[in-house]
Amino acid sequence: MISQESVPHLAIYFATQVTTSPRSQKEQQRDLSLFLSFMEQEFGSTSRSSWSPRVARDFLAALQNTVKDDGSRKWSDRTINRMSAHLKTFAKWIHKHRPFPLGQPMEKIKILSIGNQLEIERALTKQERNRILDAADQLLLVGGRSRDRHRATVEQPHPRERTIDLTGIEPSSTPLLKRGCAGVR
């Protein structure tokens, strides 16, 4: 890891700009050191002039593609967004005092979409997911063949309720299908 002493800008930045708690400062230092280590390893330099938008994008892509021994991602999207925010703040501060040759490198970098905090992969077992998908495939056959033009006047169950009826999965047994979640009535 790169220390504050080896990169003078980093030491000055932490001494004058960072006013967060010691724990947050430790995270920021780790995130910035990780980026500087990436620059040193991939591009052979941590100089300000070698930091470009391409380097920033490559770093974030490397974070997304890094996996642990068990095959899972090493960093979540939320963690990568935190690292990106720290890099943006640091780059903005450097650019303010001594502009980057190719412009502010983090300016156009967007945060990753986090979306709903419930991941379907963890909420349902593979068998439950397959049963729901099979039932959804059947909905077109069950609901699409009616020629009754008065069908709209007859009370029809909601498609999700029909999916639950066809799969046999109780809404209360699956976190994704509990009442109030995922639009279940």
Q: Render pLDDT for 25-36 as a digit per residue (tens, 0 to 9).
A: 889 899 999 998
Is residue 70 assigned to a domain? yes
Bridge partner list, 67: 73
8-16 vs 77-97: helix axis angle to the nearest 10?
Answer: 100
87, 139: one domain: no
Tell whether 116 is covered by a domain. Answer: no
In a domain, 113, yes or no: no
Token digits for 99?
A: 């502009």
Confidence class of residue 44 from pLDDT cuts 50, 70 and 90?
confident
Same domain, 14 and 74: yes
Residue of 50, 104, 109 lying closest to 80 (CA atoms): 109
Spell out the residues 6+ positions from residue 30 whose beta carbon is closer than 8 angstroms to its own.
1
At 141 the pLDDT is 58
What 3-state DSSP class applies to 120? helix
Residue 3 has a pLDDT of 43
Q: Which residue has the higher pLDDT, 11 or 8?
A: 11
Boundary residue ending a domain (47, 64, 97): 97
Q: Flag whether 44 is in a domain.
A: yes
Average model confidence (pLDDT) across the chain: 75
Contact 100, 94 (CB under 8 A): yes
Number of independent structural domains in the chain: 2
Residues 92, 13 share a domain: yes
Could you tell me the residue range of the domain that residue 163 belongs to? 121-177
Whether residues 65 and 126 share a domain: the answer is no
pLDDT at 184 over 50: no
| Shared-domain flag, residues 126 and 167 | yes
Going by the DSSP 8-state scheme, the letter that residue 155 receives in this structure is -
Indicate whether 34 belongs to any domain: yes
In a shared domain, residues 89 and 139: no
Q: Is residue 183 part of a domain?
A: no
Say if residue 108's pLDDT is above 50: yes
**End position of a domain, from candidates 42, 65, 97:** 97
Mean pLDDT within 71-82: 89
